[in-house]
Amino acid sequence: MEGTVTRVDGRVERGNRTRRSVLDRTVEIASVEGLEALSVGRLATELRLSKSGVFALFGSKEELQLATVREAGRVFAERVTRPVEEEPAGVARVWRLCELWLEYSRGRVFPGGCFFCEVIAEFDARTGPVHDAVVRAQRDWTAYLERTIAAAGDAGELRAGTDVPQLAFELLALMETANMVSVLHDEESSYRRARVGIATRLKAVAVDPGRVPEVP
């Protein structure tokens, strides 16, 4: 019995390793070429795996796409949202969150810049489970930013009457434009412009503008 369990555990672990290696590659491909560029045959060839083995891990192209969106979400949380969770509520935390997003894009955590900017453009006008997964990811990120801003207001660091959804919308627009321009032109100056814009907007609503760093 013990030998059987060991063999089963070994197969499970190998399967998990293969799944991780496949998803490492799918998020890279999708960030540059989109989710429709994913195929079992391509992945099997590039990773030197059997087509049947890759198919057995996901079952369909749609499930492969959904798994890729989930993996990108995991990486995004690890790089952007999780690092600020222990920071005290306030304007500085909002600034830090925006900085982490810009660095996630600028540092090309995904080769195509922000993974979700790419797949949103690909699936925004479609319907179906993949579209719905992309929508959830975008809504979750927007809601997280709004909660972070609202918490700064609750901490007494934002001026009375600050429109939280409007401020979040403007900060997102600056970040996403920086990503788009940088990816399109293969340059980084747009990130500084976004930082200047974010700092200016936060200083305008902060009770103490000094809590927002100066952008060099």
From CA 172, how far away is CA 98, in angstroms rounded?
9
The 3-state DSSP class for residue 158 equals strand
From CA 145, how far away is CA 8, in angstroms rounded?
43
Indicate the CATH number of 2-207 among 3.20.20.70, 1.10.238.10, 1.10.357.10, 3.30.360.10: 1.10.357.10
Q: Taken in order 24, 27, 33, 38, is the CA torsion positive or negative?
A: positive
pLDDT tens-place values along the chain, 216 residues long: 555 555 556 666 776 888 999 999 999 999 999 999 999 999 999 999 999 989 899 999 999 999 999 999 999 999 999 999 999 999 999 999 999 999 999 999 999 999 999 999 999 999 999 999 999 999 999 999 999 999 999 999 999 999 999 999 999 999 999 999 999 999 999 999 999 999 999 999 999 999 999 998
Q: What is the pTM of this model?
A: 0.91
The torsion angles phi and psi of 214, rounded to 5 degrees, stand at -75, 140
From CA 23, how far away is CA 29, in angstroms rounded?
10
Report pLDDT for 14.
Answer: 76
CA distances from 158 to 86, 152, 196, 199 (A): 20, 6, 19, 14
* 81 neighbors 97 (Cβ within 8 angstroms): yes
From CA 3, how far away is CA 79, in angstroms rounded?
40
